Amino acid sequence: MSYEILGLSALWFFLFAYLIIASIDFGAGFFAYYAKQTKKDHILNRLIARYLSPVWEITNVFFIFFYYGLAGFFPDAGYYYGSAMLIPGSIILVLIGIRGSFYAFENYGSRSSLLYTFLYGASGLLIPAAIATGLTISEGGFLREANGSVYLRYTELLTNPFSWAVVFLAIVSVLYISANFLTYYASKAGDEPAKKLLRSYALFWAAPQIIASLTAFIAISRQNPEHYNNMLNLWWMFGLSVLFFLIAVYLIYKEKRFGLSFICVMLQFFFALLGYGIAHMPYILYDQIQVAADATLPAMGTALLLAFGGGLLMLIPSLILVMRMFLFDAEYVKGKK
């Protein structure tokens, strides 16, 4: 396999990892706020805090990995996105700034405040909506080149039904993924009331999630017919995605095997994102940036891949260590440590 395909696969992996981890994190923030607002925080917040505290910084890093990786493997993509995304990018950064800081203020500071919880809960839903703009733009038709520079067509972006379908999909998916994971986490912690509440959230968001997915799928056909046809050729991947969705919902509904149910949720997104990604080839940014033609030089590509491999060798053992200490240490999860 060539280095640019390996690089692209690494980027895809970061995107997928970020999609799952960040969704859990963003959704948890929103549920924490919602529970507080509806006076159910005594049920949820202890559980959410125990999960979130050790991992939130890790989430952010996946996002940075993705954009440094993109700019490293495909510098021209970095140029196009960088030039065009000034305002959406700044909005993302401001939201991340608010969310990260107010999360820390709430949890490491000395007092809890509804305002802090609101700020990190609400920003958590807006961040994925803003980041999704990047995927929207990749379908082509939203950039304009003039005077040797690249501009974003704001009106086009804001009035296009496709971009709103993507925003809707992003927000709904966050809530759906998060509710599913937290249900599993609560059942592991043996926290019956939290599990019950979260399970109802997971079921509630299941239908909107699949509707949003289908809407976005169909909306691509108008925005980018070529991409859409490629996706139709990969129909079995999206079929698998829907199948895993059904299994996940069934398991949650029947209240059994929440762990397996969450694995199905991950597989649902795995196949959907994989099918989307493969159909997107050979373009990274439609019409302008291609995988093979616009990749970085082999020397840098190889160096990045080596760094990536070396980094993983170092990180995976450390991650396992932390996970065993917190996420999957039954005593810690139950709040006994």
Partner 1 sequence: MFAYDSVILARMLTSMTLVFHIIFATIGVGVPLLISVAEYIGIRKRDPHYVLLARRWTRGFVIIVAVGVVTGTAIGLQLFLLWPTFMQIAGHVISLPLFMETFAFFFEAIFLGAYIYTWDRFKGRYTHWYLSLPVIIGGGMSAVFITSVNAFMNTPQGFTLVGRTITSVEPLKAIWNPATPSKVFHVLTSSYMTCGAVLAAITAFFILKYGNNKYYKKALKVTMIVTLIFSIFTAIAGDTSAKFLASYQPEKLAAAEWHFETEKGADLILFGKLTEDNEVKGAIHLPKLLSFLSFGDFNSEVIGLDRVDADLIPPLWIHYMFDLMVTLGAYSIMISMLFVLFMFWKKRDQYNKWLLRAIVINAPFAMLALEFGWIYAEVGRQPWIMRGYLRVAEGAVSSPYVHIAFAMFLILYVLLGTFVTVVLVRLYKKNPIQKEWEQRFPDTLFGGDQK
Structure tokens given for 286: 């439609």
Per the listing, tokens 């140029």 go with: 79
For partner 1, give the closer residue by CB, 152 or 273: 152
Per the listing, tokens 């991340």 go with: 96
CA nearest neighbour of 278 among 236, 243, 242, 306? 236
For partner 1, give the closer residue by CB, 5 or 86: 86
For partner 1, give the closer residue by CB, 38 or 318: 318
Helix pair 258-280, 161-189: axis angle to 10 deg: 150
Considering only 24, 289, 304, 333, the residue that binds partner 1 (CB under 8 A) is 304
Q: Cα(287)–Cα(270) distance, rounded to whole angstroms?
A: 26
**What does each C-alpha distance from 77 to 166, 220, 228, 255, 329 come to in angstroms?**
21, 21, 22, 45, 41
Candidates 186-194, 196-204, 250-258, 294-302: pick the segment binding partner 1 (CB under 8 A).
294-302
Residues with Cβ within 8 Å of residue 215, at least 6 apart in sequence: 165, 168, 169
Q: Confirm if 261 and 180 have CB atoms less than 8 A apart.
A: yes
Site membership for partner 1, residue 330 (CB under 8 A): no
For partner 1, give the closer residue by CB, 1 or 299: 299
Considering only 31, 102, 142, 286, the residue that binds partner 1 (CB under 8 A) is 102
For partner 1, give the closer residue by CB, 38 or 147: 147
Candidates 36-44, 93-101, 131-139, 284-292: pick the segment binding partner 1 (CB under 8 A).
93-101
**Pairing status of strand 143-146 against strand 289-290:** unpaired
Candidates 107-115, 211-219, 227-235, 247-255: pick the segment binding partner 1 (CB under 8 A).
107-115
For partner 1, give the closer residue by CB, 81 or 262: 81
Q: Cα(113)–Cα(41) distance, rounded to whole angstroms?
A: 12
Q: Cα(215)–Cα(213) distance, rounded to whole angstroms?
A: 5
Candidates 39-47, 100-108, 172-180, 237-245: pick the segment binding partner 1 (CB under 8 A).
100-108
Site membership for partner 1, residue 89 (CB under 8 A): yes
Per the listing, tokens 């949720």 go with: 265
For partner 1, give the closer residue by CB, 60 or 288: 60
- Quick note: the x/- pattern for partner 1 over 114-153, rule CB under 8 A, is ---------------------------------x-xxx--
CA nearest neighbour of 249 among 44, 272, 19, 257? 257
Interface size with partner 1, residues (CB under 8 A): 69
Residue 266, judged by CB atoms within 10 A of its CB (0-12, 13-18, 19+), counts as middle
Site membership for partner 1, residue 68 (CB under 8 A): yes
Q: Give the residues lining the site for partner 1 (CB under 8 A).
A: 53-55, 57-58, 60-61, 63-65, 67-69, 71-72, 74-76, 78-83, 85-87, 89-94, 96-105, 108-111, 147, 149-151, 296-297, 299-300, 303-304, 307-308, 311, 314-315, 318-319, 321-322, 325-326, 337
